[in-house]
Structure 1
Amino acid sequence: MVRLTKQIVHTVPAPDEGLLEKARTGAPSRSVHAEFFEHIEAFHVIERRPPSRPAAWPGSFRIAALNAKRLKNRAAVRSLLDRAGLHAALLSEADAGMARSGNVHTIGELAAPSGEGFLFGVEFMELDLGDAREMRDHHGQRNACGFHGNGIVAALELADPVLIRLEEGGLWFPGRNGAQRRIGGRMALAARMEAAPQPFWLVSVHLESKTDPADRQAQMQTLLRALDRLAPPRDACVIGGDFNTKALPRDETERQEPLFDDLRAAGFSWRHSNVAGPTQRTDPAGKPKPPFGKLDWIVVRGLEARNPQVIPVLDQNGDPASDHDLLMADLSF
């Protein structure tokens, strides 16, 4: 059964600190994780802020997908979105109330200067300060609320938002190498473009990195089953985000990742909305190292795609703001 969340809030409620302390000291089992997941309200709501002045339908719609790597460098990402002339950005790995990113709502700060609206959904509740390096760098600090998730930023009105849980197995609950203990699981955010001349859905997705192609396929199948209920095949739809496809950026990628078979069967295509080159890059911490892979994708149904580009995510000094570059394409009916 696919879990769909439609409850909208103005601000995701902060977790109970006593509950989080129990989670930190509890047995890292699947059943214990499930109990904490159910009792944390943040996993069962969507934060929505409308644009200050909703834009009209532009005719040709420019969209991007970006894994923002905590969204620490919001100035660099904001500048990039403005220069690209985007109408919507599908974002993953955005913090809210994490010490490592300034204990702010990163997507809220990203959207504020432009007056854009946004959706935000919590993927993980971080029980630590982050990975091992982040725990060293921020030793002695505290997270304001410890949220980490996905979002959609758009100048146009987003209607009928839905959070789609792709898995709830608690893979990250025990942590990795003594760090990064988390409650939660991978998810997608979907919404309908209110101003579009016909039904048109945006979907921001982030598939699991610490797994295999079969598990990523299962997560994509869960997403596609949800879309069958939300956006029938006659509706236009774009899915974008970090698919975590691990093969190098060659033609073999699609054959090694069976999730593409499911996307094709569901009517999605990607030939004209992607480029063959990699979307990874080395981040300020020096990871990952080359060779880089193509992890990020934009796939479309019921739309014409053109002008795909991968744009370096660099600040004004030429330093990387993420370990992914931005993938962009133009769409029209």
Structure 2
Amino acid sequence: MTQTLFTETHTVLTPVSQEDRRALGALPRTAQEHDAALAATPCMTQVRVGGTAAHNFLAFPLTVAAWNLERCLFPEDSAAMLAREGASLVLLSEMDNGMARTAQRDTTGVIAAQLGMSFAYGVEFLELSLGGAIEKARATDPENVLGHHGNAVLATVPLERPVLIRLDRDDRWFRFDPAGEQDRIGGRVAIAARVQTEAGPILAVSTHLESNALEDFRAGQMTALLDAIDTLAGDMPVILGGDMNTGNKMPDADWRTETLFGLAQDRGYEIHGGEAEAFTTRPSLITTAPPRRMKLDWFFIRGMDVAGSRIVPALRDDGTPLSDHELMICEIRGPYRT
């Protein structure tokens, strides 16, 4: 698979039968087998679209949310938090669809319906197992109906020209998961779509960079992503947000050692991640052990006048964590005037 941009849209992605998923799980764990399976699985190169837009264009000031929802155990509560923050453009990652650990629910569709939004969704990984021990304990069925896990863009306006951007065809999760807890095919992706604002179109991009790698690998993913955005956006303003996994697998989890920030800044992006020394991770119902406190989640903004960004604790009213990542919010005054 050499192509990286995919524009084929469906309201339902081509399913992979449970029999075929079991066959994929039985393949020899080689790069060649992974690449062949990835190329032969249509849902990995399709964009799912749905929802209903409430408006024709986004007004300024604009509230944007980016959130890694860690499978999305609680879509209704997550949607309620997004509504309280007033987000009209939402960039989500780690969204399940047809996974037993999240009751086989279409988590993106549930959030979009509750918020009155349209959505575009792409599969990052086709999951071949139920997940780890905690996820198996949460499973409502012995198998996944679909096994989809991916990223989404949601907005209160129509999403134009949605695109799935495959950032790599790396096989590390297929080859190096001896415990079978995250047995999967695929690789990291971004979902992009053009949205209309009162000042003209912008490109919205939701991404999730690799956690199981060092900074040089993520820098390569960022370069591929910025190249793709240049192709799609031209000189349009860009709102890119998501879990960049900055500092993951690095000494002391130091996000400041990542070179991807400089790569983006060299192309005209401003970096926004809330309070400078505030972290964006927390213990959750899945990530129960206290993790190293990390700053993984960011907005990269080009051509927009940013009023500020903040980190919102990802907690339900009763204190239940909604994710192992906090909710990220960015407030935008409007486009830069030249």
TM bin, normalised by shorter chain, reads over 0.9
Task: Give the 5 Å matches for 1:75-114.
Answer: 75-114=76-115
Q: Secondary structure at the match of 1:305?
A: strand
Q: Which residue of 2 aligns with 1:128?
A: 129
| TM superposition shift of 1:314 | 1.0
Distance 2:96 2:105 in 1: 8
1:227-255 deviation line (CA, Å, top 9, x unaligned): 121112x210011000001279x9x633x
Q: 1:76 and 1:225, CA in 2 relative to 1: closer, same or farther beyond 3 A?
A: same
User: Do the aligned partners of 2:102 and 2:139 also contact (CA within 8 Å) in 1?
Assistant: no
* Alpha-carbon distance, 1:102 to partner: 0.6
8 Å CA contact 1:2, 1:225 repeated in 2? no
Instruction: Give the match's secondary structure for 1:160.
Output: strand
Q: CA deviation at 1:197?
A: 2.3
Report the alpha carbon displacement of residue 139 of structure 1 after superposing the two structures with TM: 8.6
Note closer, same or farther for the CA distance 1:231–1:132 as it changes in structure 2 (3 Å cut). Answer: same
CA distance in 2, matches of 1:221, 1:166: 9
Maintained 8 Å contact 1:274/1:298: no
- Counterpart of 1:178? 180
Would the alpha carbon gap of residues 132 and 167 (structure 1) be closer, same or farther in structure 2, given more than 3 Å must change?
A: farther
CA distance in 1: counterparts of 2:172 and 2:59, whole angstroms:
41
- How do 1:151-190 and structure 2 match up within 5 A? 151-174=152-175, 175-190=177-192
Percent identical residues: 31
Question: Following the alignment from structure 2 to structure 1, what is the Cα–Cα distance between the partners of residues 297 and 88?
Answer: 19
What code does the residue aligned with 1:188 have? A
Q: Secondary structure at the match of 1:152?
A: strand
**Structure 2 stretches lacking a partner, 5+ long:** none
Contact 1:281–1:323 (Cα < 8 Å) also in 2: yes
Over 6 Å off, 4+ runs: none
2:229 paired residue number: 227
Q: Which residue is equivalent to 1:38?
A: 39
- Taking the aligned partners of 1:47 and 1:53, their CA distance within structure 2 comes to 19
Distance 1:196 1:8, change over 3 A: farther
Larger CA deviation: 135-144 vs 315-324: 135-144
- Inter-partner Cα distance in structure 1 for 2:226 and 2:319: 38
1:212 to 183, 190, 214: 214
Indicate how the Cα distance of structure 1 residues 220 and 137 shifts in structure 2: closer, same or farther if over 3 A, else same: same
Q: Quote how far apart the aligned CAs of 1:179 are.
A: 2.1
Residue correspondences, number: 329
- What is the Cα-based RMSD across aligned positions, in Å? 2.0
Verify the 8 A CA contact 1:125 1:147 in the aligned structure 2: yes
Q: 1:140/1:71 Cα in 2 relative to 1: closer, same or farther (>3 Å)?
A: closer
Structure 1 position 140, deviation (Å) = 6.1
Residue identity in the other structure for 2:188: R
Stretches of structure 1 that go unaligned for 5 or more consecutive residues are none
Which residue number corresponds to residue 261 of structure 1? 262
- Would the alpha carbon gap of residues 131 and 164 (structure 1) be closer, same or farther in structure 2, given more than 3 Å must change? same
Checking the alignment, whether the CA contact within 8 Å between 2:100 and 2:139 is kept in structure 1 is yes
| Pair 1:142-2:143 in alignment | yes
The CA distance in 2 between the partners of 1:52 and 1:270, in whole Å, is 29
- Distance change in 2, residues 1:286/1:217 (3 Å): closer
Q: Distance in 1 between matches of 2:325 and 2:212?
A: 17
Change (3 A) 1:283 1:176: farther
Measure the CA separation in 1 of the matches of 2:138 and 2:51.
Answer: 35
Tell me which amino acid in the other structure corresponds to 2:211.
Answer: S
- 2:275 paired residue number: 275
TM-score for both structures, normalised by structure 2: 0.92
Superposition deviation, residue 321 in structure 1:
0.7
**Matched residue, 1:200:** 202
Q: Secondary structure at the match of 1:173?
A: helix
Q: Indicate conservation of the 8 Å contact 1:50/1:158, yes or no.
A: no
Residue-by-residue CA offset, 1:187-238 (whole Å, 9 max, x unaligned): 0011111344233111000001000000000000000111121112x21001
Partner of 2:302: 301
- Report the Cα distance in structure 2 between the residues aligned to 1:180 and 1:57, rounded to whole angstroms: 38
1:287, distance to aligned residue in structure 2 (A): 3.3
| Counterpart-to-counterpart distance in 2, 1:98 and 1:185 | 18
- 94-103 or 167-176: bigger deviation: 167-176
* Secondary structure at the counterpart of residue 172 of structure 1: helix
> What's the CA shift string for 1:247-294, capped at 9, x where partnerless?
79x9x633x1011111011110115x6322111011024535254111
Q: Distance between the aligned counterparts of 2:97 and 2:140, measured in 1?
A: 18
Counterpart AA for 1:131: G
Per-residue Cα deviation, 1:88-145 (whole angstroms, up to 9, x for no partner): 1100000000000010111001111232111110000000001233235439611111
